[in-house]
Structure 1
Amino acid sequence: MKTVLETDRLILRGWEDRDAAGLYKYASDERIGPAAGWPPHKDIGYSRAVIRTVFAKDEVYAICLKENGNEPIGSIGLTLEGSPERPLQKGEAELGYWVAHPFWGQGIAPEAVMEMLRRGFEDLGLKRIYCGYFKGNNNSKRVQLKCGFKYHHTNTMCRVIMLGETRVEHFNIITASDYWTQKSHKI
């Protein structure tokens, strides 16, 4: 059974088949997927397939507001294994997240990101966490900077396979040392 993480307002839990209709409701929104590099979901069956594959990986969580019960309003996860397009060394991970449009501007993404940083550095013993955003996705950029990420590099020819295009992607990083320094200043 997947770990359940909790913050003041959020529960981060594993995705379940029964979440397919809720996932479709938010992931079909044209403002969500393309900004993150994936096409809007076309039906509940597609959302269910994403839950069973992409979201079934370790360290991928549904973002749920405690006040809304158990309905996912977004997703967040740490990718612990690299790929040819996204090489990772031992002790590194890449963070990805999205929050449904009706919940933008409420501090939900930074709250979820901070919990995933805690999970990565304190529970999993990671050394570095990367997070990227495509040029023009200023909401994601702001979340990353607010959470302590610093600029690392830019890929001007990032292949966005699911959308069949090439984009500019900026990558930020936070190290374990930066995380612990940041945390000590908040205490």
Structure 2
Amino acid sequence: METSRLILRPWQESDANSLFKYAKDTAVGPAAGWPPHTSVEDSAEIIRTVFAAPETYAVVLKATGEPVGCCGLVFADGTHSSETRKNEAEIGYWIGRPYWGQGLIPEAVGALVERCFGYFALSAVWIGHYDGNAQSRRVAEKCGFRYHHTEYGKPSLLGDTRTEHFLRLTSQEWRTANDRRP
């Protein structure tokens, strides 16, 4: 997928150095509930396992060809929000700190939303963010998502439990906002 400034493509093992450069930052992973990467080898393993999942993309700057973040879809499976149903998905994302506040992740999320409703014909898409992660909430709101509910006691990969807020965008809301025909 392409946007005006980005290419969203599958991760490659050769991306490990770039991934480590941004994913080692303690301000990035913990806000999303995952531990900072500890080595290039750690990042390579994440690419081979976690980022090998279908619909998981490197967020690559067109200007430099460097992956600076990640975004992807997780289809309804009951492990994310208890509200997610069949024919729905959740979008997750992060970007390296040097690129915060530039509108790159809303651009990437917009491309994923279009894929969700155009290609997959999903009925709704969700975004969850942990309590205190206002930047992630703002991305969702910029992309047209609206608050739906809060879930408490959600375990994170850091071994703690957190409060998670969920925002949702339906196909009808997206089509209306973008003046698209069903």
How would you bin the TM-score normalised by the shorter chain?
Answer: over 0.9
The structural deviation recorded for 1:115 is: 0.5
CA RMSD of aligned residues (A): 1.3
Structure 2 CA distance for partners of 1:104 and 1:118, relative to 1, 3 Å: same
Which of 110, 117, 120 pairs up with 2:113? Answer: 117
1:73 aligns with 2:80: no
Higher helix share: 1
Which is worse superposed, 13-22 or 88-97?
Answer: 88-97
Deviation at 1:82, TM superposition (A): 1.4
1:53-132 equivalent positions in 2, closer than 5 A:
53-69=49-65, 71-87=66-82, 88-132=84-128
Q: Say whether residues 1:171 and 2:166 are aligned partners.
A: yes
Q: CA deviation at 1:81?
A: 4.3
Cα distance in 2 for residues equivalent to 1:84 and 1:102: 31
Partner-residue secondary structure (3-state), 2:19: helix
Please, which of 14, 18, 24 is the counterpart of residue 14 of structure 2? 18
1:39 alignment partner in structure 2? 35
Identity among equivalent positions (%) equals 47
The answer for unaligned runs of 5 or more in structure 1 is none
Give the direction of change, closer, same or farther, for the CA distance of 1:59–1:84 in structure 2 (3 Å limit): closer
Return 5+ residue gaps in structure 2 as ranges. Answer: none
**TM-score normalised by structure 2 residue count:** 0.94
Q: How many aligned positions are there? A: 179
Residue type at the aligned position of 2:49: T
Alignment partners' CA distance in 1, 2:89 and 2:80: 14
| 1:8 aligns with one of 4, 14, 25 | 4
- Displacement over 6 Å in runs of 4+: none
Shift of the alpha carbon at 1:136?
Answer: 0.7
**Structure 1 residue 83 displacement after superposition:** 3.9
Write the distance in 2 (CA, Å) between the matches of 1:104 and 1:154. 25
For normalisation by structure 1, the TM-score amounts to 0.92
Offset at residue 45 of structure 1 (A): 1.2
Deviation, structure 1 residue 32: 0.3
Q: CA deviation at 1:86?
A: 4.0
Q: Could you tell me how far 1:84 is from its partner in structure 2? A: 3.9
